[in-house]
Amino acid sequence: MNDSLTKIFYQTLGLISLTRESLRPNQESGPDKRKDALTEGQKVYEQFIQNTAEKREELETQMSRIFQKIAENLQLGTQAEIKALQERIEALEAEVARLKAEKTKP
């Protein structure tokens, strides 16, 4: 079923891309034209997927740069800096607890 839907999808794309050629006289028809439509549809689909992947990578790179600039301008800490501060806080809390325990000993 999925294979049939894929073929129909490719044929539809191919027929769309071949529409401009349909205006030409004496064009062949029948099974050969459907095969051409299927092949053309696959090409269009593959180009679309490739272009989409390239654009997604470009967009991710640009967004990463933008977010990095925003973080720098807002003076936000990096994850490593935040983790280091959390560890320092935990160490200080442990020290405070130890000092309180020593103070309460008789």
Domain ranges of the chain: 2-75, 77-106
pLDDT at 40: 79
At residue 103, the pLDDT reads 86
Rg (CA), the chain: 32
Interaxial angle between packed helices 2-17 and 31-73, expressed in degrees from 0 to 180 and rounded to the nearest 10: 90
Q: Give the angle 101-83-72 at the CA atoms, nearest 5°.
A: 135
Q: How many CB atoms lie within 10 A of CB 18?
A: 15
**What pLDDT is stored for residue 2 in this prediction?**
63
For the chain, 106 residues long, give each residue's pLDDT as a single digit of tens: 567 767 777 777 676 666 655 555 444 555 566 667 778 778 888 888 888 888 888 888 888 888 888 877 887 778 898 999 999 999 999 999 999 998 887 6
Instruction: Enter the DSSP assignment of 86.
Output: H
With 0.85 as the threshold, say if the pTM is over it.
no
